[in-house]
Structure 1
Amino acid sequence: MEPSCIAVLDNGACTVKCGRTSVSYDDQPRLITNAVVRSRGDKATYIGHEFDQCRDFSSLHYRLPFEKGYLVDWDAQKAVWDGIFSDEVLKINPSESSLLITEPYFNLPNLQEVYDQFVFEEYEFHSYFRSTPAALIPHGTLYGNSSSAPPECMLVVDSGFSFTHVVPIMEGSIVWSAVKRLDVGGKLLTNRLKELVSFRQWNMMDETYIMNEVKESCCYVSVDYRRDLDMCRWDPRKNPILQEYILPNFSANRNGRIRKAGELINEADQILYMNNERFSVPETIFHPSDIELQQQGLPGAIASSISLLPEDVQGLFWVNIGLIGGNTKFPGFCDRLMLELRSLAPSDVEVKVYTAADPTTEAYKAALAFARNSAFPSHVVTRAEYQESGSNACRRKFKDWRSSDRGVDQTLDRRKGKAPMQDSDEEPSSAPRKGGRTRNRTGIQPSGPRRR
C-alpha cells in the first residue's frame, strides 16, 4: 500500500516548519513553536501550535525539547508532534502517511534510535526518511531555479537556534570531515542582548520572547564595526544608529514597536534605547572572542572548511556559498560576509554568496521538493523493514557522519590521486596481517623483547 501523503517536518530547535505533499495544501509551511510555553500573565499553558492563541507574552516560561542542539526532552517533543499531526494542523493519519524529518548535525546514535522508535512504534508511520537540513539543499532552489541542476560542489552555512554549521557538499553528499561548527546561534544572541539591556537599562532577564522580538526588529550586522562603534560613543542619545523601541503593553493589548520619527509617546510607555547593542550582538557570529569563546568566526570557519577539501575543486566551493537559517536574515549579514571572505580567499578565485528569499524556510522548501521527487520512495525506510531489522535498516539507508559515504570517499581519493577502495559485500577479515601484532583474549597487547 502506497502512503496517501508525505508529511514534511523541518524540526528546528526553535520552530518546526511543517507541511505535507498535497494538491490542496499550500507550499508555504506552517511555523510551529517547538516548545511547551507557560504564561504567567493568563496562567495558561500552550503546546506547540496553541501558542498562536497567547496574548500576554510577559515572563513566559519555555520547556524546550532541544538542549544544546540535541533533542533530549521527548515528552515535550511528543506533545508538540501530537498537535502537528492532529486535525488542527496537518490532518494526517500516520499509519497511512510517510514522514520526512530533519535531525541535528552530528546527531548521537542513541538519539537516532529514539527517532526511529517514535516514528514507527509510537506513531506507526508507513515509512520515513531522516536527514540533516543542509543535505536537502541540493533539491531546492537556493542555487538557481528548479529546472537547472544544482552545482557539483556547494558550501551551505546553516546558522540556526543552537549552532552555526559550515557544511560542504560534493556531488549531493556531505563531506563530514570538513564540516565546521560555531557555538553561536540565535539563542545565544538573544541571551546576550538580554544581559546587555538588563545591565544598562531595564531588567529583561525573564523576557525572552520580548527580547527576541527586539533582536529581530533592531539588530543588524555592521559592515564597518569600528566606525559604527565610534559613532555611538560620540553621542549616545543622538546618532544615526540609535533606535527607540517602545516596549509592549499587554494590559492595553499593544505590541512592541520601533518608534517612528516624530511619533508621540504616552507617559506610561517604556522606551528601550538600542544603540551599539544593535550591531554588537550579531557581531558575535563574526568574532566569538568578544564573549571569550575561543573559536574562529564564521569567515574563518568557512575558509578552514574549504582548505580541507581537494585543491582542484576549492574554487567551486568559494563560488557556491549558500546561506540558510534565521540568523542570516540580519540586515548586512551577506555584505559583511562577502567583505571578509574576499580577504581570506585566494586572489585568483571568485567569491559568490547565495541568499534565499526566506532563509528560515529554505530547508523546508528543499525537503518538500525532495518529497515530491519520484526517487523519494527508494530512500525511505518502511515500517515492515523496521519491524524486520530495527534501527539497522535506518542506519543502512540514512547516510550520516558515522557512516562512510563511499561515493564521497572515492571522489576525494580520485581528486588526490589515490586508488579508490574496492566495493565488497564481504565483512573485513579479523585475521592479523602478516608481520602484525595480535591481541590476546584480555585485549592487552603482548609485549615483545625491548630493543636497546
Structure 2
Amino acid sequence: MDSVVCLDNGACSIKIGYITDEKPKVIPNCIMKAKSEKRRPFIGNQIEECRDISGIFYILSFTKGYITNWEVQKNVYDYIFSTEFPVNFSDTKLIITEPLFNFPIIQEAMVEIFFEEYDCCAMAKTTAPDLCYYQYTNTQDLDEPPLCCVVIDVGYSFSHIVPFVKGKKVLSAIRRIDVGGKLLTNHLKEIISYRYLNVMDESYVINQMKEDGCFISQDFNSDMANAKLKYPENKIAREYVLPDCTTIRRGYLQPPGTAKKTDDYQMLRLNNERFAVPELLFHPLDIGIDQMGLAEATIHAINACPEETRPHLFANIIVVGGSAKFSGMQTRLYKDIRSMAPEFFTVNVTVPEEPQTYSWYGGQYLANDPNFEQSLITRQDYEENGARGVLFDE
C-alpha cells in the first residue's frame, strides 16, 4: 500500500504521523511570542527553546473552532513538514481532519493549499469524531463490532456530542456546548487573578496548572464543604510551585506546608479552583452560558436518534479530547448519565488512555477501509474540476 499520513488538525494541537507509526507526534498548532525574545516567533514545539515562558502571547490559526488565520496555519504547516515531520506529499496520501459543519470556503482553502503549496497527490477529508468511531468500533473486544456509538469530543473551543449509527453521523442529533479547554484555562486565569495575583497574561503557565492540578468532582457540594476546612482536614488544597525558568521548567503540585523556609519558590495555593473550573463542563450556567452540560447534552443527543438505536448508543459512549484527561471524568460522566438514562438500558462510558490522540489512531483503520480509495480527492480531480468542483459537485 502507498504511504499514508494522518494529520489530525486540532485547534490546540496537530497530531501527525504515518499510519504505520506506533504513535503520532503532537505539535502545538500556534505561533507564540515571548516578552524576553520579542523578535523571535516560536512555532509549534519551538517553545521548548524559549528561555522565559512568562507572558507568552499566542497567535492562533483557529477562532471559535474554525480556521480563520491561514497565514498562521500555513507557517505551522511549513514548520512541521520541513522540520518536525518531513514528508513528500507528491507520493504520499493524506488523511486530514476538519471541524464538524466546516464552512465551504474553509474547505476550499484547505484543498487549494495542499494541492498548490505542497503538491499533494491525493487527500481524504474527515472529522475527528469519524476517526474516533473507526478506532472504537475496530478495537472493541466483542464478537461483532458495535453498530452504534456516541463520541463526546471535549475540544479546545467546543465540546461536541456526536452519535453514530451504522457508521454514519446522525447530523440532526449532534449537540455542541460552548465550553472547551480554552474557556477552562481562561476561567482559571480570572479566578487566580481575582484571588491572588494578576496572571491574565500567563496563559501558558496557567494551562499547565490546569492540566496538573484540576480534577472532576464526584460530589461537588461535599468537595466544596471540604475545601472550607483548614489543612490537614482539607483534602483538596495544594500548593502549585510556579516555574522560574532556570531550575523549574514546569510547575508542580505539592501538599501545603511542604516548602522549606530556604526554598526561594513562588507558589500559588489552589483550593476549590481545582474542581470548580472543570465543573463548567457539567454546568456551563455557572458562568452564565445558558446551555446543557456534557451529561444532559448526551442524553439529549441520544434521544434525538431513532428509538431502536438508543440501547446501543447508551452502551457505547466514548470520551475523547484533551479535557477528557481530567481525573474522574469517566466516573462522573457514567454516574450522571446513568442517573438520567432509562433504568433498563446498559450504560457504558469509556475514556481511552490517550484521549488527545485517540482520533489519530482511527486513521489507521480508515486507510485500510475498502472504500478509502473512493473517498480520496486526487490531484487529477483537482486540476480538472478545481477545489469547489471536487468538494461540492455531487
TM-score, with normalisation over the residues of structure 1? Answer: 0.82
Shift of the alpha carbon at 1:388? Answer: 1.2
Quote the residue 2:148 is aligned against. Answer: 153
Give the match's secondary structure for 2:84: coil
AA of the residue aligned to 1:346: P
- 275, 284, 288: which one aligns with 2:280: 284
Shift of the alpha carbon at 1:205? Answer: 0.6
Shift of the alpha carbon at 1:148? Answer: 6.2
Find out whether 1:246 has 2:241 as its counterpart: yes
Quote the residue 2:165 is aligned against. Answer: 170
Find out whether 1:394 has 2:391 as its counterpart: yes
In 1, Cα distance between equivalents of 2:19 and 2:282 = 38
Higher relative contact order (CA closer than 8 Å, sequence separation 6+) = 2
Q: Is the 8 A contact 1:143 1:354 kept in 2?
A: no
In 1, Cα distance between equivalents of 2:389 and 2:81 = 26
Find out whether 1:383 has 2:379 as its counterpart: yes
Larger radius of gyration: 1
Find out whether 1:108 has 2:103 as its counterpart: yes
- 158, 178, 182: which one aligns with 1:183: 178
Pick closer, same or farther for the CA change 1:256–1:386 going to 2, 3 Å: same
Matches within 5 A, 1:31-50: 31-43=26-38, 44-50=40-46
Shift of the alpha carbon at 1:251? Answer: 4.1
Pick closer, same or farther for the CA change 1:49–1:231 going to 2, 3 Å: closer
Shift of the alpha carbon at 1:377? Answer: 2.0
AA of the residue aligned to 1:324: V
Shift of the alpha carbon at 1:373? Answer: 4.1
Quote the residue 1:352 is aligned against. Answer: 348
Shift of the alpha carbon at 1:139? Answer: 2.1
In 1, Cα distance between equivalents of 2:321 and 2:32 = 23
Q: Is the 8 A contact 1:57 1:210 kept in 2?
A: yes
Q: Is the 8 A contact 1:222 1:279 kept in 2?
A: yes
Give the match's secondary structure for 1:204: coil
Shift of the alpha carbon at 1:252? Answer: 4.1
Pick closer, same or farther for the CA change 1:219–1:16 going to 2, 3 Å: same
Quote the residue 2:211 is aligned against. Answer: 216
Give the match's secondary structure for 1:250: coil
- 181, 188, 202: which one aligns with 1:207: 202
Pick closer, same or farther for the CA change 1:9–1:254 going to 2, 3 Å: closer
Q: Is the 8 A contact 1:142 1:355 kept in 2?
A: no
AA of the residue aligned to 1:340: D
AA of the residue aligned to 1:378: Q
In 2, Cα distance between equivalents of 1:66 and 1:236 = 42
AA of the residue aligned to 1:278: R
Q: Is the 8 A contact 1:142 1:356 kept in 2?
A: no
In 1, Cα distance between equivalents of 2:7 and 2:141 = 21
Quote the residue 2:302 is aligned against. Answer: 306
In 2, Cα distance between equivalents of 1:138 and 1:234 = 44
Shift of the alpha carbon at 1:115? Answer: 1.1
AA of the residue aligned to 1:175: V
AA of the residue aligned to 2:106: L
In 2, Cα distance between equivalents of 1:130 and 1:245 = 42
Choose 48-57 or 292-301, whichever is displaced more.
48-57
Q: Is the 8 A contact 2:228 2:234 kept in 1?
A: no
Please report the RMSD computed on the Cα atoms of aligned residues, expressed in angstroms.
Answer: 2.0
In 2, Cα distance between equivalents of 1:92 and 1:338 = 42
Give the match's secondary structure for 1:245: strand
In 2, Cα distance between equivalents of 1:379 and 1:290 = 43
Q: Is the 8 A contact 2:150 2:313 kept in 1?
A: yes
Pick closer, same or farther for the CA change 1:291–1:150 going to 2, 3 Å: same
AA of the residue aligned to 1:11: N
Q: For structure 1, list consecutive stretches of 5 or more residues without a partner in the other structure.
A: 398-452
AA of the residue aligned to 1:290: D
Quote the residue 2:18 is aligned against. Answer: 20
Shift of the alpha carbon at 1:27? Answer: 1.9
Identity of aligned residues (%): 38
In 2, Cα distance between equivalents of 1:126 and 1:149 = 36
**Deviation readout 1:378-411 (Å, 9 max, x if unpaired):** 22110101111222223368xxxxxxxxxxxxxx
- 126, 130, 139: which one aligns with 1:131: 126
Find out whether 1:316 has 2:315 as its counterpart: no
Shift of the alpha carbon at 1:145? Answer: 4.2
Choose 29-38 or 261-270, whichever is displaced more.
261-270
Q: Is the 8 A contact 1:137 1:366 kept in 2?
A: yes
Choose 144-153 or 65-74, whichever is displaced more.
144-153
In 1, Cα distance between equivalents of 2:359 and 2:111 = 21
Give the match's secondary structure for 1:328: helix
Q: For structure 2, list consecutive stretches of 5 or more residues without a partner in the other structure.
A: none
Count, aligned residues: 391
Pick closer, same or farther for the CA change 1:236–1:107 going to 2, 3 Å: farther
Choose 135-144 or 242-251, whichever is displaced more.
135-144
**Deviation readout 1:6-50 (Å, 9 max, x if unpaired):** 22110100110011135xxx3211111100111112343111232
Q: Is the 8 A contact 1:232 1:239 kept in 2?
A: yes
TM-score, with normalisation over the residues of structure 2? Answer: 0.94
Pick closer, same or farther for the CA change 1:6–1:52 going to 2, 3 Å: farther
